[in-house]
Chains A and B, each alone.
Chain A
């Protein structure tokens, strides 16, 4: 007959074994090969599927994220009357795109989702080409826009200074830009301050496509 202490020890070992096996299974199930290299943007690891959405672009065509496999998407949220954040972000993104080789540039889509009900197709049609003819502006019904914004962690609300009957209200909104890779996975997030580093962002985009990062596009300051 075994002693209680050794029975406890055997039980503990068995329990530890079960936990190790369970944790290993969980880990393997969630494992994706680590991305090589260092990123300039905040890296989302492991990569996970981007929220699928369908909205209307500035030409009145349906835009489905699922149709964009093969392209890298740079997604941000804003409104066309935005005095500062949106024009700055879009100008920086345009500058980043200009740094890409043309073959890659053709596979990068900057997508601007308007969170302002005033921004209909006609408004977007005038606004988007101010930055780049190839950019995409999206609009949709309030509920869909809200769902998409929530799914990507974007925040927005009418500015407190807005009066009830003021058609010139501003909207406070978050400023991050999300990179979705060619397989439809969330990969990187950029703060607005990072957007001014076009060479570093272009390096990330090349790396997302599995291409080497040019020596002139360092991965930035993060280790």
Chain B
């Protein structure tokens, strides 16, 4: 049996052409509230809602979470940049404006996830409630601040 010499040059070129590994496939399944919290929120607010000293206030005891759901939805849609004070402590960070990335249903889902974790007595909100707030914010810039301090 003869050795297939012709295959060797081809093999050598294939080795030389080895490049980066292929990208993982992108999962386009819509995220639910729990998954959104895990992928968008947890790096600042932390899994236990403890926040980051100096940057991100804790979820636990948050007056925004305890207050009007409209304010909370507005905060999620417009984001927040710069210092806020909580219980005598100042936090200076940035919360992204999620109105570009999350639809009404997803924002309702994540709000309800926050309520389930830290305000379990609160009634769930609907995507329509988010839609109304979103429409009222047309023309407002991200980070434009009119929320309770």
Interface residues of A (CB under 8 A from B): 13, 16, 19-20, 23-24, 26-27, 30, 39, 42-45, 81, 83-85, 87-88, 90-92, 94-95, 127, 129-131, 168, 191, 193, 196, 198, 220-222
Contact = CB atoms under 8 A, between A and B. Distances in A.
B18 to A, nearest CB: 7
Given A27-B12, A83-B143, A196-B39, A222 B24 contact: yes
Given A20-B8, A196-B39, A131 B94 contact: yes
B8 to A, nearest CB: 5
Interface string B103-118: 0000000000000000
A129 B20 CA distance: 34
Interface string B134-147: 00000001110000
15 contacts: A20-B9, A26-B12, A26-B16, A27-B16, A44-B20, A45-B20, A83-B96, A84-B100, A87-B95, A94-B43, A94-B55, A130-B81, A196-B42, A222-B21, A222-B24
B23 A42 contact: yes
A83 B141 CA distance: 9
A12 to B, nearest CB: 8
B96 A30 contact: no
B43 A196 contact: yes
Interface string B1-26: 00001101100110110111101101
Nearest to A168: B141
Given A24-B12, A44-B20, A130-B81, A16 B5 contact: yes
A30 B16 contact: yes
A24 B8 CA distance: 10
Contacts of A196: 38-40, 42-43
Contact of A16 (B6, B43, B82): B6
A44 B81 CA distance: 35
Nearest to B82: A130
A83 B97 contact: yes
Interface of B: 5-6, 8-9, 12-13, 15-16, 18-21, 23-24, 26, 38-40, 42-44, 52, 55, 79, 81-82, 92-101, 141-143
A2 to B, nearest CB: 19
Give the most central of B8, B42, B92, B94: most A CB within 10 Å: B94
A23 B13 contact: yes
Nearest to A191: B23
Nearest to B141: A168
Contacts of A90: 94
A124 to B, nearest CB: 13
A26 B5 CA distance: 19
Contacts of B38: 196
Contact of A88 (B9, B13, B16, B40): B40
Nearest to B95: A87
Give the most central of A45, A91, A94, A220: most B CB within 10 Å: A91
A27 B12 CA distance: 7
Give the most central of A13, A45, A130, A193: most B CB within 10 Å: A130
Nearest to B6: A16
A84 B39 contact: no
A196 B40 CA distance: 7
Nearest to A17: B5
Contacts of A83: 79, 96-97, 99-100, 142-143
B5 to A, nearest CB: 5
Nearest to B99: A83
